[in-house]
Amino acid sequence: FGSRLFFKSRCTFFRRLMDAQLCASPDLPAAREKAPEHEPDASQVDPVVLARWDEYMFAMREAIRLMLNSQLQEAEHTLEEASKLVDQRTIMFARGEHDARGYFAFVSALMRLVHGLATLEDNQLDAVAAKVRIADELLAKDGNWAGKTVLRGLTLLLGGLVQVMQGAIPRGIWQILRSWAFLRNLETECLDFDGYERDTVRSTGLFALGVFNLLTSLLPPAMMKAAGWATGFSGGREKALEQLRMCWEEEGIQAPFAAMFLVGFTVDVSTFLGEFLEARQRRHQQAQRIIVWAAEKYPGSFFFAGLEASFLAAQRDLQGALVKFTEMSAELPAMRYLLHVRHATFSACAMEWSRAGEHFMHAVDVHRSVGRRATCPALAFVSHACYVAAGDSEKAAACLEVCLSYRQQKKKWNVLDAEALKDANEASPTFRPLLFLFRRVCIVYRGVNFMNSEQASVFLEMVRKETEACETAADRLVGLSIQTEALRQNEDWNEVLRLAAEGLALEPQLTEPCDGALHFLLLDVAYAQYAKGNAPAAKESLAKLSALKGDTFYHKQVSFKATELGRLVGAELEDEYTEINIPARSKSRLAVNIPSPQRVEWLWLVAEYTISFVVLFHNEDGKVVELECADQHAAESGPFVGSAEVGIGKLELIFDNSFSKLRSKKVQCRVQPNGLDLRHVPEN
């Protein structure tokens, strides 16, 4: 996700391609398919059909209510019984009735996702994927109308999210984008729908459009370019939030989900993106209205209670947030786990170190109780650092022992777990647990956004003292980057510039890479310069940031914020895509010189049909190694992404269209990291 770009043009030919592919695909509607022009209104529809519709929608609302109150099994049972009822009936399509089984199956897939994650079941995502396929098959059996179109789009979108969660990120994002084939006509088909199903159809249409536009606005910028090139969608974040606001205010069937998206964006996602305080505060009033509404409509809801706690933190009332978490309880393992992690996170932001350490370890205990290992090393190590800060050496040692107990276990650990195991193994007088903890609070938890002025002053003083005690330039640089980021969150721009200059002056003294510290210094300088009205200087700082290499955890924390600021100052940081045309019966070669050992990533899209692909690496000794090969990769399969660790030499990308007798192929290709010179190589 480290790359940044802003898409400025669309390819008309590819939009025509999408139409052709969608018309030919058995699991997608024709690109121009529309709902019937004259849906019967309530006065023309058979009373039996109207009664059945009301019955089905009551079951749907009841299932949603149960889900929001954490009664997930009861919610699934309600949908199963409603679907059985449809099975027993003859569906009167000619009288305006719809096959509701697909609708129940879609909501059931959504609830299976929540239930599987909440119970920490093994293979829960595979079960959800199976339910998504069943839902799509049932929806395909219904007659053509606007409700079917929007739900098939949502089914594709949910399936894409599941694939992303399974780790198939490019394929999942591509499936999310394919949902646009269904959703792109919703503004005319659903929002102005005039049938007896209007309330449900309009609510679902607004929700689907809002979610799609919001997700695509948050995509990694490199994927945004692929998205525009592939689908021609339009929209954006503000449009998405407006659609979700309307969905909530109209109180249709999707209103509670729209409400959760709106509050979640306001209290969490906005700080992750690095939005300015003024922009965030404009949304706080709406978020407060939603929380009051939810307390009345869904009393006792675990989900809305958690959002209320986060809202209190966003209002810089950490004590209120902690009181709210204390009042909450959960039976399902994942919900207990989430509750403890959030309680611990906000306790750390409030500098209640013992309380934070206790809840981090409770979260570890929940995972261990169901045989889960993921996040246990990271949380145990953070708990160790919290107890160090609290001065409780006995509990600190116990937490460190728990973390180290995982070092011999064979598992592909995530970034934070791997980092924790490395730090725990290397724990020595040179390791500074407080510096580690302050960095986690400020950068990962974005904690200063939630502190009142007194708490922020105390935190900054603690970081300042720890920075002064550091003996190496690398540690001092990390300490200064924590301070500048804390000041950015507090919007103290003069101090940001002063301390950032002090930190950047340490760069020549570094003897090894410093994980993301320079990136944050340059980012914070750019924010300060923009806030003080100096857009050219902000652009310059963003350009320097873009030129920095790095693919570490803390470096990735910068990328979304840099993209957000780049959009504000008109300095969108673009990835360079090379467009090539491969004639029939031909090959096309691209080459890039690799000046130093590094990881190189390639991403490409073929506009239509298929293309074969080979990656070769020529090392310094002249030896040629094949790194990757794909035989006739199809356009509908989406972006092709690969990577490899290589030494000094030359990377060669070969697009092979020699099997095609008549058709030329068009490809867009990008190689990263930025700065590598991708060039055409003439065929001999």
Question: In the chain, what are the domains?
Answer: 3-29+38-233 (1.25.40), 329-431 (1.25.40), 439-569 (1.25.40), 578-681 (2.60.120.680)
Residue with tokens 């529309």: 34
Q: Is the pLDDT of residue 4 over 60?
A: no
Interaxial angle between packed helices 255-264 and 198-217, expressed in degrees from 0 to 180 and rounded to the nearest 10: 20
Residue 450 near residue 314, CB atoms below 8 Å: yes
Are 259 and 38 in contact by the 8 Å Cβ rule? The answer is no
Residues 188 and 415: their CA atoms lie apart, in Å, by 45
The percent of residues in the chain predicted with pLDDT above 90, rounded, is: 41
CA distance 226 to 603: 10
What is the predicted pLDDT for the residue at 119?
Answer: 46
pLDDT exceeds 70 at position 306: yes
pLDDT at 32 over 50: no
pTM of the model: 0.76
Overall average pLDDT of the 229-257 stretch: 82
Give pLDDT, residue 190.
75
143 vs 50, more confident? 50
* Torsion sign across C-alpha atoms 516, 522, 525, 526: negative
User: Residue holding tokens 């919703």?
Assistant: 186
**How many Cβ atoms are within 10 Å of 187's Cβ, its own excluded?**
13
Query: Quick check: 283 pLDDT over 50?
Result: yes
pLDDT band at 574 (very low <50, low <70, confident <90, very high): very low
d(CA 170, CA 414): 18
For residue range 615-666, what is the model confidence (pLDDT) as tens digits? Answer: 999 998 889 999 999 999 887 777 788 889 899 999 999 999 999 988 999 8
Name the nearest CA neighbour of 219 among 560, 607, 556. Answer: 560
Higher per-residue confidence, 166 vs 609? 609
The average pLDDT across 359-373 equals 92
Is 60 exceeded by the pLDDT of residue 12?
no
Query: Tokens 């592919």 correspond to what residue?
Result: 21
pLDDT at 315 over 90: yes
Q: What is the pLDDT at residue 684?
A: 60
pLDDT at 575 over 90: no
pLDDT tens string 71-122: 878 888 998 899 999 889 888 888 888 888 888 888 877 776 665 554 444 4
Helices (H), 370-472: 376-390, 393-404, 415-425, 433-439, 453-469
Q: How confident is the model at residue 467 (pLDDT cuts 50, 70, 90)?
A: very high
How big is the CA angle at 207 (ends 43 and 6), to the nearest 5 degrees?
140
pLDDT of 222 higher than 60: no
Rounded to whole angstroms, the Cα distance separating 466 from 31 reads 60
Cis amide prior to 673 (ω within 30 degrees): yes
Q: What's the token pair of residue 476?
A: 């001092």
* Greater pLDDT, 443 or 192: 443
Q: Give the pLDDT band of residue 525 (cuts 50, 70, 90).
A: very high
Q: Band of the pLDDT at 566, cuts 50, 70, 90?
A: confident
Q: Is the pLDDT of residue 218 over 80?
A: no
Q: Could you write out the three-class secondary structure of 293-310?
A: HHHHHCCCCHHHHHHHHH
pLDDT band at 25 (very low <50, low <70, confident <90, very high): very low
- The set of residues, in sequence order, having a beta carbon less than 8 Å from that of 70 and lying 6+ positions away, is 118, 301, 302, 303, 330, 331, 332, 335
Per the prediction, the chain carries an average pLDDT of 82
What phi and psi, each to the nearest 5 degrees, are found at residue 462?
Answer: -65, -45
Q: What is the pLDDT of residues 204-216, one digit of tens each?
A: 888 888 888 887 7
Model confidence at 220, pLDDT cuts 50, 70, 90, reads: low
Contact 535, 504 (CB under 8 A): no
Tokens 């030359």 -> residue:
650
Average pLDDT over residues 402-406: 93
Q: Which residue has the higher pLDDT, 3 or 49?
A: 49
Q: What is the pLDDT of residue 233?
A: 57
pLDDT at 232: 56
Round to whole Å and give the CA distance between 565 and 273. 9
Tokens in use for 634? 């199809």
pLDDT: which is higher, 635 or 463: 463
Question: pLDDT exceeding 70 applies to what percent of the chain?
Answer: 82
Identify which of 567, 494, 566 has the alpha carbon closest to the alpha carbon of residue 523.
Answer: 566
CB burial class (10 A; 0-12, 13-18, 19+) of residue 514?
A: buried
Three-state SS string across 108-155, please? HHHHHHHHHHHHCCCCHHHHHHHHHHHHHHHHHHCCCCHHHHHHHHHH
| Identity of the amino acid at 456 | A
| Contact between residue 500 and residue 521 where contact means Cβ atoms under 8 Å apart | yes
Going by C-beta distance under 8 Å and a sequence separation of 6 or more, which residues neighbour residue 147? Answer: 98, 103, 190, 197, 200, 201, 204
Q: Is the pLDDT of residue 492 over 90?
A: yes
